[in-house]
């Protein structure tokens, strides 16, 4: 394992969980340097336990990945030998409303990181640039079939197009400059610390508040779901054993339609907070009564499904958390971490960031 790992976007949902997972890994004895711009979906409080428990091995740098000079200084300051690149604008709806941010962060930011790594590592071979990507770059499937590592790219939204572009840049740096790289394309993640603009936390928190549960179109758009810890364990396997220049698909092998997800969440929340006991619910109503079908979003891909035979066969990866168990854990986490939830929903965490990180 590497000595000084630079994690980009480490205050976000998957990144913060990755840092926690990596520190729990007995094979890892090195340092983690977390670089994050602290945009709306990033929260240093996600890692308050890490800052406390790993003071000598965890370092935070507030910076934008598009800032080449800052990133270059961080590379030199910490002698970075591995980059795990999570930082990205990732919400499809936001990419439709404001695509420029996605172009800047996901394409220009990735280019800046690649160029920094190339100039600092020169001919080094004991280094790695690992790029986190998405299954959305592959486009949309019909009722059958799967995305393979060899599937042609066919992105349908500004978000997926920006990620596809960054994937191509990473591969280009491998072939042109011999930069040691690996890429993973993962399916939909869920779990603790996910910003509540995404489907699962959004629905959980709306139920608690007794608000409507808006479902796009007919609700039959299908996604493959993976618990965030399983995804991060797979990333660690790629970092440890993956072949340079290769892409690995990471999937949960759990296809669910959006409406089935929402119905399952209604049942899971009801097990812990019965609708009849929720003071925010109208008397006599259950959580499923809150479901409202709304106009579909533009370019809404119908189905994603990941084939992850390659990583299972070559790197001995296996998912450990079945979907229903993962959903139960996720619902329990949001219900048991009301301080975090309130901080996010009220925007109070932004004031905390401004107070503690404004000078960085």
Phi, psi of 117 (to 5 degrees): -65, -45
Whether residue 232 is contained in a domain is answered as yes
Whether residue 278 is contained in a domain is answered as no
Average pLDDT, the chain: 95
Percent residues over pLDDT 90 in the chain: 88
Whether residue 286 is contained in a domain is answered as no
Whether residue 133 is contained in a domain is answered as yes
> pLDDT tens across 82-107, in order?
999 999 999 898 999 999 999 999 99
> pLDDT tens across 321-357, in order?
999 999 999 999 999 999 998 888 888 878 877 777 7
pLDDT of residue 358: 59
Is the distance from CB of 85 to CB of 8 less than 8 angstroms?
Answer: yes
36, 135, 167, 253: the active-site residue: 135
CATH number at residue 113: 3.40.50.720
Q: What is the mean pLDDT of residues 115-124?
A: 95
Into how many domains does the chain fold? 1
Whether residue 276 is contained in a domain is answered as no
State the helix-helix crossing angle for 323-336 and 258-272, rounded to 10 degrees: 50
pLDDT higher than 70, residue 359: no
148 part of the active site = no
pLDDT of residue 350: 80
Q: What is the DSSP letter of 303?
A: B
- Residue 116's domain comprises 4-194+225-255+302-322
pLDDT of residue 145: 96
How many CA atoms lie within 13 Å of 185's alpha carbon, on the beta-carbon side? 30
58, 78, 138, 159: the active-site residue: 159
pLDDT of residue 360: 45
36, 81, 89, 136: the active-site residue: 136
159 part of the active site = yes
In b/e form, how buried is each residue of 331-358, taking b as 16+ CB within 10 angstroms? bebbbeeeebbebbeeeebeeebeeeee
> pLDDT tens across 49-66, in order?
999 999 999 999 999 999
pLDDT of residue 347: 80
> pLDDT tens across 198-232, in order?
999 999 999 999 999 999 999 999 999 999 999 99
Whether residue 183 is contained in a domain is answered as yes
> pLDDT tens across 144-203, in order?
999 999 999 999 999 999 999 999 999 999 999 999 999 999 999 999 999 998 999 999
357 part of the active site = no
Is the distance from CB of 19 to CB of 50 less than 8 angstroms?
Answer: yes
Mode of pairing for the β-strands spanning 188-190 and 213-216: unpaired
pLDDT higher than 70, residue 131: yes
Residue with tokens 């790197």: 315
pTM of the model: 0.95
Whether residue 79 is contained in a domain is answered as yes
Percent residues over pLDDT 70 in the chain: 99
Whether residue 270 is contained in a domain is answered as no
Q: What is the mean pLDDT of residues 121-129?
A: 93
% helix, strand, coil for the chain, step of 5: 50, 15, 35
Q: Which residue would you say has higher pLDDT here, 299 or 330?
A: 330
CA distance 35 to 37: 7
State the burial class of residue 219 (Cβ atoms within 10 Å of its Cβ: 0-12, 13-18, 19+).
Answer: middle
């Amino acid at each position: 394992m590497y000595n000084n790992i630079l994690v980009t976007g480490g205050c976000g949902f998957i990144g913060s969980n990755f840092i926690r997972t990596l520190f729990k890994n007995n094979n890892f004895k090195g340092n983690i340097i977390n670089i994050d711009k602290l945009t709306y979906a990033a929260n240093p409080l996600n890692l308050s336990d890490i800052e406390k428990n790993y003071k000598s091995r965890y370092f935070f740098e507030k910076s934008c990945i598009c800032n080449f000079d800052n990133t270059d200084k961080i590379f030199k300051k910490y002698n970075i030998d591995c980059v795990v690149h999570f930082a990205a604008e990732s919400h499809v709806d936001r990419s439709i409303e404001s695509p420029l941010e996605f172009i800047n962060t996901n394409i220009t930011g990735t280019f800046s990181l690649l160029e920094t790594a190339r100039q600092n590592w020169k001919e080094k071979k004991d280094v790695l640039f690992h790029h986190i990507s998405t299954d959305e770059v592959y486009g949309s499937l019909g009722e059958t079939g799967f995305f393979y590592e060899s599937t042609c790219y066919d992105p349908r939204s500004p978000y997926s197009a920006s990620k596809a572009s960054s994937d191509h840049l990473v591969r280009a740096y491998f072939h042109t400059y011999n930069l040691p790289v690996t890429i993973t394309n993962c399916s939909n993640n869920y779990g603790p610390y996910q910003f509540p603009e995404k489907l699962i936390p959004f629905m959980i928190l709306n139920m608690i508040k007794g608000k409507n549960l808006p479902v796009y179109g007919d609700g039959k758009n299908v996604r493959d779901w993976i618990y965030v810890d399983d995804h991060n364990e797979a990333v660690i396997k790629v970092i440890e054993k993956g072949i340079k220049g290769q892409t690995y698909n990471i999937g949960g092998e759990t296809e669910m339609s959006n409406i089935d997800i929402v119905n399952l969440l209604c049942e899971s929340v009801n097990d812990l907070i019965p609708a009849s006991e929720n003071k925010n619910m109208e008397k006599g109503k259950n959580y499923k009564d809150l479901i409202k079908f709304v106009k579909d979003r533009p370019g809404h891909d119908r189905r994603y499904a990941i084939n992850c035979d390659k990583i299972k066969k070559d790197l001995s990866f296996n998912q450990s958390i079945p979907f229903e168990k993962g959903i139960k854990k996720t619902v329990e986490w949001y219900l048991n971490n009301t301080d975090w939830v309130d901080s996010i929903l009220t925007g109070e965490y932004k004031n905390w960031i401004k107070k503690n990180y404004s000078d960085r």
